[in-house]
Amino acid sequence: MGESAQDEDLLLKSFFAEVNEVERDNEVTRILSCFKLNPFEYLNLPFDASPEDVKKQYRKLSLLVHPDKCKHPQAKEAFGALAKAQQLLLDQQERDYILTQVNAAKGLGHEELRAKRKKQLKKDTASKIKSLVDEGKYEQNYERSEEFRRELILKVREILTEQEWRRRKMQMRISEEEGRLKKDEEESKEMWKRKREHEEQWEGTREQRVSSWRDFMKSGKKVKKGETRPPKLKTEDPNKSYVQRPVKRG
């Protein structure tokens, strides 16, 4: 470990020696009240923070709310939220996705806040004149102000929430469609399975059916071996189809 790292450790130890329980509790409360879709808020970092900034800030805040050092009942939850935020911001793919969403939200937020500001300037003549005199510097100063920053953060939250809701609805529709396709596939497989089983069963009884048919064709009206035909009753007239009753002789 280099001297700079040792100095940093000593500085951190000195800092936490001065931190009281109230400050730890306040930090837990702050973390748990953060906007869930923005990991930058959990670590209390600006959107342009570097990966190195993320690591340093995580180390500082995680020690502050560590369950072994902080008595707050939700310290463990806050500690976990910080760990998740760091994980997201150090994963390049996740970080790029978050920044894409944030930048899109910031762009929309800027436009909406500027439009809102113009409406306010139309009502406020003095501000409008000052804006014209300063040739745009008034607007630039406003966009650098703490007021604008707070409003922008709220607007970003609002837009990110809408984007996340649309994403989840789309995900739900995709899941439903995948479920329907899977069900259709399973039903189709079951139908073909039953058809195949029927065909196999039919093929399996083929020899039996052929044999039965051959036996039938061979036998026809012939007397089966071992059977005795009843005697034919004669009639006086061979052309008559009825049987003549025996004649009693006196």
Domain locations in the chain as residue ranges: 18-90, 105-210
Residue 158 has what pLDDT? 81
Q: What are phi and psi of 248, to 5 degrees?
A: -75, 130
Q: How remote is the C-alpha of 65 from its chain's centroid?
A: 31
Q: Where are the alpha helices (DSSP H) in 33-145?
A: 39-42, 51-64, 75-90, 92-123, 125-133, 137-143
* Higher-pLDDT residue of 182, 239: 182
* Higher-pLDDT residue of 22, 12: 22
Per-residue pLDDT tens digits for 220-239: 555 555 555 555 555 555 55
Per-residue pLDDT tens digits for 138-168: 666 766 778 777 777 777 778 778 877 887 8
- Mean local confidence (pLDDT), 20-48: 89
Per-residue pLDDT tens digits for 201-210: 877 777 777 7
Residue 78 has what pLDDT? 95
Residue 182 in this model has a pLDDT that exceeds 80: yes
Q: How far apart are CA 68 and CA 2, in angstroms?
A: 28
The fold for domain 18-90 equals Helix Hairpins (1.10.287)
**Buried-exposed string 163-180: b where 16+ CB fall within 10 A, e elsewhere:** eeeeeeeeeeeeeeeeee
- Mean local confidence (pLDDT), 120-137: 64
Q: What is the pTM of this model?
A: 0.52
- Mean local confidence (pLDDT), 66-86: 93
